[in-house]
Amino acid sequence: MSRDHRKLRVFEESHRLTLAIYKHTKSFPKEEWYGLRAQLRRATVSIATNIVEGSARRTTREYLHFLNIARASGAEVAYLVDLTFELEMLTKDAFTLLNKMSARLVPQLEALVESVAQLLSEERKAKRRARTARGKSPKPRAQSQEPEPRAQSPEPKAHGGQPPR
């Protein structure tokens, strides 16, 4: 199933947040270029890229997996925006903007995850109903049964007391 990530408002919001993060982290101190600045940029890029990658996956289950990663990255960005402001790396104006953007994005990600999780649940129920309607019982859950004993095969008969050639 192909999904178009560009039709998702949450993708557009995450893309805008990524551009804003890059813009407002340009002035971070050089000693943080490979520390907090890089981490903040990676986390924000991860949101949009996981939405895109999940959208390209074939199953709803895979899609949901990537959306969960995007949601976690959104929470990470929200924390890093707070942290970098407290460490005085972000200006008050930059913090206000980035905090507002991430505060709006995270609930959207959560809502999308919940919606897709509900869809996955419905797909699973429909599969079970279809299997039952065809006369097949649903796949049994793992059970701890002892394996049935194997039937003993008869001993080969010796031909004239000599081993077979």
For the question of whether the overall pTM of this predicted structure is more than 0.85, the answer is no
At 6-26, the pLDDT tens digits run: 999 999 999 999 999 999 999
The pLDDT mean for the chain works out to: 87
Query: pLDDT tens digits for 36-77?
Result: 999 999 999 999 999 999 999 999 999 999 999 999 999 999
The answer to whether 50 and 77 are in contact (CB under 8 A) is no
Task: Tell me the backbone φ, ψ of residue 72, rounded to 5 degrees.
Answer: -65, -40
Rounded Cα distance, 10 and 22, in Å: 18
Domain 5-133: which CATH number of 1.10.1270.20, 1.20.1440.60, 1.10.340.30, 3.40.718.10: 1.20.1440.60
Residue 69 has a pLDDT of 98
